[in-house]
A = this chain, B = another copy of it.
Amino acid sequence: MKKVTINSVASYAGVSKKTVSRVLNNEPNVSDATREKVLKVFKELDYTPNPIARGLAQNRSFIIGCIYDNPSKSYITRVQTGALAACQENKYNLLIHPCDLRGDALISNIEHLLQSSRLDGLVLTPPFSDFKVLVDFLKSKKIPYARVASAVLEDDSISVRSNDEQGAFEITEHLIKLGHKAIAFIKGHPDHSATEQRFKGYRRALSMHGIEFNERLVEEGNFSYHSGVDSARSILDLIPCPTAVFASNDYMAAAVLKLATQRQFKVPDDISIAGFDNAPIARHIWPGLTTIAQPVEEMTKQAVTKLIEHIGEPQEQPYQVTLEARLITRESTAQVR
């Protein structure tokens, strides 16, 4: 298979390579006849431009990076799916880069990543979306970035989120309407901005329905299944035991369900359990978890699409969108007895 370069196309079509380049990039000032001719040669020779050469000339890599430090595999794959969709539409590549939020080496890690891969932009996923140190660093280096599921909005960046507070409010209200008054809550990881948002929604629902907030019903988790087990233990030991538990994500909710089942609780008859995220596990277990579904793929896709647009034309406007989350009721919640 002979390599087809812009030179072969040019000589074959009888034009200069600059003209070929013009056709490639849909630039104006090419006569229709010439354009047609070149396009035909593209087909005939089955020409594909070399992105590396193009990258070198334009000082771009056509790669955007996605960084994460998230225990939920399913969340990550959903993020990736959305990001990939946007990348493929725009002939970009996606580089995935798991890294440690806590490490003091984070900034230098990211700096090295940017240096060595010459990324055109970065997608920040939770918990990085609201990690000020990092955002400030990127801003100072003028690295384009987009934030997914951030709580704090900034008026000069790209940010696509879903309404965590509202989602938490709705699911809590759902429990209240089923007659629950003692509703335990398991918080997420303190570094995730969603943690506070969901907690806020929980409290708003309580207060709106005149239920007094009880601090003893709140446990600190960190979104991991394991932390859910610990929190569940404390909650199920409470006397009197709450009639419902709302965990900040489905893994922790699944942990509550597991422990409750082990302890011979009947779910949802003895205790209702609700989660958040609509992770696969929510429907893979019995009883299925009532939860909140967020459009993770869609959020990420929009964020990445805007990011790529922004790379192309840096004067582009900021983009701030909040998508709706949706309550999904399954068997794990029921009328209080």
- A residues sitting closer than 8 Å to B (CB atoms) are 1, 48, 50-53, 55-56, 61, 63, 73-74, 76-77, 80-81, 84, 91, 93-98, 112, 115-118, 141, 225, 251, 254-255, 257-259, 261-262, 280-281, 283-286
Contact = CB atoms under 8 A, between A and B. Distances in A.
23 contacts: A1-B141, A48-B116, A51-B118, A52-B52, A52-B61, A53-B56, A56-B56, A73-B280, A76-B77, A77-B77, A80-B96, A81-B98, A84-B96, A84-B97, A84-B98, A93-B117, A225-B280, A225-B283, A225-B284, A254-B284, A258-B284, A259-B286, A285-B285
Contacts of A95: 93-95
Q: Which 9 pairs show the lowest CB-CB distances between chains A and B?
A: A258-B286, A73-B77, A48-B115, A261-B286, A52-B55, A52-B56, A73-B74, A56-B56, A254-B284
Contacts of A284: 225, 251, 254-255, 258, 281, 285
B91 A254 contact: no
A21 to B, nearest CB: 16
A81 B55 CA distance: 27
Nearest to A81: B98
A326 B281 CA distance: 24
The copy count of this chain in the complex is 2
A78 to B, nearest CB: 8
A285 B254 contact: yes
Contacts of A96: 80, 84, 94, 96
Contacts of A280: 73, 225, 281
B281 A262 contact: no
Contacts of A76: 77
Tell which of A1, A112, A262, A285 has the most Cβ of chain B within 10 Å.
A285
A254 B280 CA distance: 12
A125 to B, nearest CB: 14
Contacts of A1: 141
Contacts of A84: 96-98
